[in-house]
Amino acid sequence: MTRVLLIAACIGGSIAVSSAQPTFSARVDGVRADVLVVDGSRKPVAGLTPADFEIRDNGVLQKVDVVSFGEIPLSVALALDLSDSVAGARLDQLRRATRALAEALEPRDQSALLTFSQAVALRCPMSAKVECLRSSLDSAVPAGQTSLVDAAFSGIVIGESDVGRSLLMVFSDGMDTASYMPSALVLDAARRSDVVAYAVSAGSKMPEFLDELTELTGGRVFETEKASDLTPIFRAILDEFRYRYLVTYTPAGVATDGWHRLDVRVKRPGARVRARPGYQGR
């Protein structure tokens, strides 16, 4: 997919957002589409080749160059809500789920962790070492409001990777109450990014922003009860993402600028496809 120039200043472990609006630029050469293909029982469909995919870019049929499945390392960015409503049992669940995720990562994968309340804090920079992920929440104390939109932007910044497939996992149990950035600006960043966002919403009402973010990037939202165990959900997201296809093509017959609508299909009876709906050109 297109590459995004995203700038964030990291000061004292927190991600500070400038008062000026960020400037995004996108360059179209090879387009990467992260595609989930499942059968009727939601099991991943393996063994597909370039000939099995049909991709249309703004309605123009494209030639698929490369298809990879389970072969590329992951860059996983976790963005976890630590506002005051996450105290007690919910925090214990977050700790267990984060440790379980760390154990499920492969040595070639990378991971990062940020938490958010009224501010966004980078607790573990992107690294192949999982020790930080295992212990980073041990001393965490939930407090304050919820800057969900700011955290999503920071997760896009951290998760963007040139060497692997980028997954952003966002957990929140409430609505945004403290973000500085406009949600439209963050959604525009998502359009220009390779990051695929999955979200876990444990509140009584799911924030509309999470639905929009996951839809734009080709991920999805897991809604859960406040008291539910988060570990199987975190593992399910990682497993589903690992067995997605990375499909690459060089755009032909379309302009390089503007919004490009993508239509990804698989020539297999019963196959169901989930991918981002498009990307932002130069």
pLDDT band at 121 (very low <50, low <70, confident <90, very high): very high
Tokens of 150: 């700011």
Euclidean distance between CA atoms 99 and 130, whole angstroms: 9
| pLDDT tens digits for range 58-89 | 999 999 999 998 888 999 999 999 999 999 99
Euclidean distance between CA atoms 98 and 234, whole angstroms: 8
The C-alpha angle with vertex 153 and arms to 278 and 167, in degrees rounded to 5, equals 60
Q: Is the pLDDT of residue 53 over 80?
A: yes
Q: Is the pLDDT of residue 26 over 90?
A: no
Average pLDDT over residues 149-167: 91
Q: Is the pLDDT of residue 6 over 60?
A: no
| pLDDT tens digits for range 128-139 | 999 999 999 999
Query: Between β-strands 74-81 and 165-172, what pairing exists: parallel, antiparallel or unpaired?
Result: parallel
Tokens of 192: 């220009």
Residue 141 CB partners (closer than 8 Å, separation 6+): 82
Instruction: Please state, rounded to an integer, the average pLDDT across all residues of the chain.
Output: 88
Q: Give the pLDDT score at 2.
A: 35
Q: What one-letter code names the amino acid at 257? A: D
Q: Which among 49, 26, 51, 29 is positioned nearest to 252, based on CA atoms?
A: 29
| pLDDT tens digits for range 181-208 | 999 999 999 999 999 999 999 988 899 9
Average pLDDT over residues 20-48: 74
pLDDT band at 245 (very low <50, low <70, confident <90, very high): very high
Inter-residue long-range contacts of 256-260, CB under 8 Å, 24+ positions, other chains counted = 256/28, 256/281, 256/282, 257/281, 257/282, 259/191, 260/28, 260/31, 260/57, 260/58
User: What structural domains and CATH numbers belong to the chain?
Assistant: 9-23+71-242 (3.40.50.410), 31-69+244-280 (no CATH)
